[in-house]
Chain A
Amino acid sequence: MSKSRDLFTVAGIVVFGVLLIATNFADRFVTQLPQDAKIVSSDFDPDFRMIAAAEASAVGPRDGKFGLGRGATKREVAAWDGDISPDGTGLPMGSGDAINGEEVFAEHCAICHGDFAEGVDNWPELAGGLDTLADEDPVKTVGSYWPYLSTTWDYVKRSMPFGYAQSLSDDDVYAIVAYILYSNDIVDEDFILSNETFLDVEMPNKNGFIVDDRLTSESHFWNKKVCMSDCKSDVKITMRAAVLDVTPEDEKNEDSEDSAAVTTISNQVEEQSEALVEVVNLDSGLVEAGEKAFKKCKSCHQIGDGAKNKTGPHLNAIFGRKIGGIQGFKYSKIFKSMRDDGRVWDEESMTEFLASPKQYAKGTKMSFAGFKKEKDILSTIEYLKSFQSLN
């Protein structure tokens, strides 16, 4: 009995605590909520919470706190709090210009965004498109659309390059942002972008945004009297999706493609008995570890059935392949010259490359800095080997 009563007591305090929090906050909005906020959060009821507070205040000293969690250290906050505001709050000291930015961009960004920030395949274009926003097909780039420069710095620093985020130095980020601005004719090539010159840059579309005005500009969608019968007389088709034909094909077709691929692969396996022996001799534990290590590679490189070239070339049957040897793939210059020298991927070259790609292939566009642990290199190579029999 006493045990259950204690339980109830504790629960009671907790509930009152939660209500107290609600009231405390409701009370602290000194002015009324804007009308749109009311509609959006229609179960927000300050009055109810006021009443609850009166009861709760009698309960005690907890102030709605549970004493959970621990204080964050300064270094922890510094490590994670990297967001940059439009007024430059959060920008670290540093600088860079478009001239060195072009090099850094070519190394880290061009593989997706193009040498001139024009975008490769479906990847975003970052330059051009000025004055196209009212066109039939607006071209939205940093130059034509982004209202704040802080957004570019913030995004490049925290989220880029794709597949190896948060790897760029602050100066590299300044240089890349300067190059993007230069590509958009917003600054000259010798303009030094720094935490001090940051606010000198004016973004062309800074006045191109309005705050959500649906409640007024679309007020006629509210309380509309709807017609229920004899609303119109003539219904004609004006456009058909089937004419456009962009819907993905159905499951059955994909199945048959898959089975065709499987057949081809098994034929290959029979033909390449040598490769098969190698597959059998793989260390399965190492392959498994390699699959995990390979996560650092797979945002750019595909491997396995149906692997295709993406940002990086596919890696099926990589050992024995000429370096830079896939026809049609846009390799960095260094790989083209290695190919011309007749060099081939083997365990030795791969080990060296994976330890420090930029040292092994100076000028490679691959953004990955290399595996720090030897174990990861060994396991990745074992994992790559498990796809030797595929093309």
Chain B
Amino acid sequence: MADDFSDKKPSRRQFLAGAAALGAGSTAASSLSASDDDPLITEVQEWAQITGDGVDATPYGLPIEFEKDVVRRNVGWLTADTISSINFSPIHALDGTITPQGCAFERHHSGAIELRKEDYRLMINGLVDQELVFTYEDLERFPREQHVYFCECAANTGMEWAGAQLNGVQFTHGMIHNMEYTGVPLRTLLNEAGLNAAGDLKGKWIFVEGADASSNGRSIPMEKALDDVLVAFKANGEALRKEHGYPARLVVPGWEGNMWVKWLRRVEVLDKPVESREETSKYTDTLADGMSRKWTWAMDAKSVVTSPSPQSPISHGKGPLVISGLAWSGRGAITRVDVTIDGGENWYEARLAQPGTKMALTRFYLDIEWDGEEMFLQSRAHDETGYVQPTKEELREVRGLNSIYHNNCIQTWWIKSNGEAENVEIS
């Protein structure tokens, strides 16, 4: 087989002919046009002679230094202070669907605290048969489940309501991560405390609260609490990171990230919602007439092209180009993604890397032959409930410009003929 393969290598003569046909001035970096020997191949390189790091050089490995710009970034002018702030996942540089914990966005209301497993307590109280306290060790003794879910801040893309503002998909769409969680269903813990005291469970609520100084608390209807909510202690196979709520956080599939209470310390069963700050003064969506929507928990279906994009320009010139992006829905699985390269004149159905799964990121690709002309790239997600991602205009017609949260509009990247990209709005 190896012999057959070597026969297919282009001969030196073919190379020369190819180069002549393209002309000396060609900037297309096609391998067929190479006329000089590549010293990376013809000269023995240092790494091919001397040895590299031994095992244990980094007992817990970090990405190689050449990837050091693939990190979370924040936008200084957004908040008064980094302690009550947010940063963004570098989705322009990631592929697949799983977000590594080390670059998964952070949102804190009073900073990321250090809470030891030994000091962790989870209280279940309120309308339960027996108010209980669990230790971390107790949590690990209940039957566990594993699920991949996205966690999206309700404010993701929130800076784009009034117009194209931030020039990079990390900043426009990076308040999202997608991890494989291991945890205990909340319903198991509620059952351990017993819900007979709550009577008819319809119309009942839980209030969940974190152990940090912000004491972030949210009310969640009992239906959701007993459905798919998890108390998670592992993400992507390892312990949660400090910034994501170590040792245990709430996972509320498909619903806005603020409800995924970190450092979870208390679950109270109630017959009414608490109407805490984070579900009245924040995370409510003001419409054009001044009325505001509350309890907008589910994240609408959404998608975005992650590359090419302003932070990930095309560097290789015309020819084969991989257009890649992410799609997700808080109401179920992604079933289809359409991509346009001409600003919506014509659309193509993108290839889903894997079938969509409920409340998790789906990776899509559209492989094209780029002619080197400018493009207006957009993507449009469809989910299993039949929802189709709206344009910015369609959203604005219903919600006005001041909703802040839940902006799931179609995003446009203007790809210029030199391969650079910019965040724009188009007619």
Q: Is the CB of A84 within 8 A of B345?
A: no
- Which of the candidate stretches B16-24, B200-208, B237-245 sits at the interface with the other chain? B200-208
Asked if B110 CB lies within 8 Å of chain A CBs, one says yes
**A104-124, CB under 8 A of B: which get 1 and which 0?**
000000001000000001110
A138: chain B residues within 8 A (beta carbon): 286, 290, 402
Q: Is the CB of B347 within 8 A of A146?
A: no
Q: Is the CB of A122 within 8 A of B274?
A: no
Interface centre among B265, B270, B385 (most CB of A within 10 A): B385
B160-193 residues with Cβ-Cβ distance < 8 A to A are 163-168, 171, 185, 187-188, 191-193
Asked if B298 CB lies within 8 Å of chain A CBs, one says yes
Asked if B419 CB lies within 8 Å of chain A CBs, one says no
B389-418 residues with Cβ-Cβ distance < 8 A to A are 390, 394, 398, 401-402, 414
In the assembled complex, how far is the CB of residue B246 from the closest CB belonging to chain A, in whole angstroms?
Answer: 16
Partner of B292, one of A28, A112, A133: A133
- How many angstroms between the C-alpha atoms of A30 and B200 in the bound complex? 7
Smallest CB gap from A68: residue in B: B138
Q: Is the CB of A80 within 8 A of B265?
A: yes
Q: Is the CB of A208 within 8 A of B215?
A: no
Known contacts A159-B213, A222-B386, A244-B163; A69 and B132 CB within 8 A of each other: yes
Q: Is the CB of B398 within 8 A of A211?
A: no
Asked if A232 CB lies within 8 Å of chain B CBs, one says yes
Partner of A226, one of B141, B291, B294, B338: B338
Q: Is the CB of A69 within 8 A of B192?
A: yes
Q: Is the CB of A226 within 8 A of B388?
A: yes
Q: Is the CB of A77 within 8 A of B125?
A: yes
Partner of B331, one of A39, A76, A208: A39
In the assembled complex, how far is the CB of residue A197 from the closest CB belonging to chain B, in whole angstroms?
Answer: 19
B224: chain A residues within 8 A (beta carbon): 37, 40-41
Known contacts A28-B201, A240-B424; A221 and B387 CB within 8 A of each other: yes
A217: chain B residues within 8 A (beta carbon): 398
Asked if A237 CB lies within 8 Å of chain B CBs, one says yes
Q: Is the CB of B275 within 8 A of A151?
A: yes
Q: Is the CB of A40 within 8 A of B254?
A: yes
**A229-256, CB under 8 A of B: which get 1 and which 0?**
1111111111111101011100100000
Majority SS at the chain A contact face: loop
Q: Is the CB of B227 within 8 A of A222?
A: no
Known contacts A42-B332, A83-B217; A240 and B288 CB within 8 A of each other: no
Q: Is the CB of A151 within 8 A of B277?
A: yes
- Which of the candidate stretches A14-22, A177-185, A341-349, A377-385 sits at the interface with the other chain? A14-22
Q: Is the CB of B384 within 8 A of A42?
A: yes
Chain B interface residue count: which class? 35 or more
In the assembled complex, how far is the CB of residue A60 from the closest CB belonging to chain B, in whole angstroms?
Answer: 15
Asked if B351 CB lies within 8 Å of chain A CBs, one says no
Known contacts A25-B187, A28-B201; A14 and B424 CB within 8 A of each other: no
A57-75 residues with Cβ-Cβ distance < 8 A to B are 64-66, 68-72
In the assembled complex, how far is the CB of residue A192 from the closest CB belonging to chain B, in whole angstroms?
Answer: 24
Asked if B356 CB lies within 8 Å of chain A CBs, one says no
**B26-39, CB under 8 A of A: which get 1 and which 0?**
00000000000000
- How many angstroms between the C-alpha atoms of A242 and B422 in the bound complex? 7
Asked if A310 CB lies within 8 Å of chain B CBs, one says yes
Smallest CB gap from A17: residue in B: B143
Q: Is the CB of B110 within 8 A of A162?
A: yes
Q: Is the CB of B80 within 8 A of A121?
A: yes
Q: Is the CB of B295 within 8 A of A247?
A: no
> Can you add 10 more A-B contacts, CB < 8 Å, to A80-B209, A214-B293, A246-B165?
A25-B191, A68-B141, A83-B274, A85-B272, A112-B80, A210-B291, A235-B376, A237-B424, A238-B425, A240-B414
What are 10 residue pairs bridging A and B, where the CB atoms are less than 8 Å apart in the complex? Answer: A25-B187, A40-B224, A80-B125, A151-B281, A230-B346, A232-B343, A237-B427, A239-B163, A241-B166, A241-B167
